[in-house]
Amino acid sequence: EAEVAQSPRYKITEKSQAVAFWCDPISGHATLYWYRQILGQGPELLVQFQDESVVDDSQLPKDRFSAERLKGVDSTLKIQPAELGDSAMYLCASSGIGDTQYFGPGTRLTVL
């Protein structure tokens, strides 16, 4: 069964350092999402791609966060510099046309 892949699964970093997360969606899925999930809360959308284009990044803190999906397949989410409040689970999801979203296992980020 096809799955969304994410790496790393865990990341510990110090504040002010840069971190990057990678996501490989299910093959053929044109839409890719990055979510942030704080412990005890539901996922909140950070950025949504349709192929290589950003269609929604209204909740992305653009002063420190960036995301790209250069060839419309895999994607990278970067934080620079990381802050203590960025500690969370970062989830990637993908969907096909008219389909629901399928999530990857997530990257748990701890900022010290």
Partner 1 sequence: QKEVEQDPGPLSVPEGAIVSLNCTYSNSAFQYFMWYRQYSRKGPELLMYTYSSGNKEDGRFTAQVDKSSKYISLFIRDSQPSDSATYLCATRDSGGYQKVTFGTGTKLQVIP
Show the DSSP H helices in the chain as ranges.
none
d(CA 7, CA 5): 7
The yes or no reply on residue 60 touching partner 1 (CB under 8 A) is no
75-79 β-sheet, strand order = 5-7, 19-24, 75-79, 65-68
What is the 8-class DSSP label of residue 86?
G
Size of the site for partner 1 (CB under 8 A): 25
Near partner 1 by CB under 8 A, which window of 14-22, 68-76, 80-88, 89-97? 89-97
Query: What mask of x and - would describe binding to partner 1 in positions 14 to 53, judged by CB under 8 A?
Result: -----------------x--------xxxxxx--x-x---
The whole-angstrom separation of Cα 68 and Cα 79 is 12
Residues that bind partner 1 (CB under 8 A): 4, 6, 31, 40-45, 48, 50, 55-56, 89, 91, 93, 95, 100-106, 108
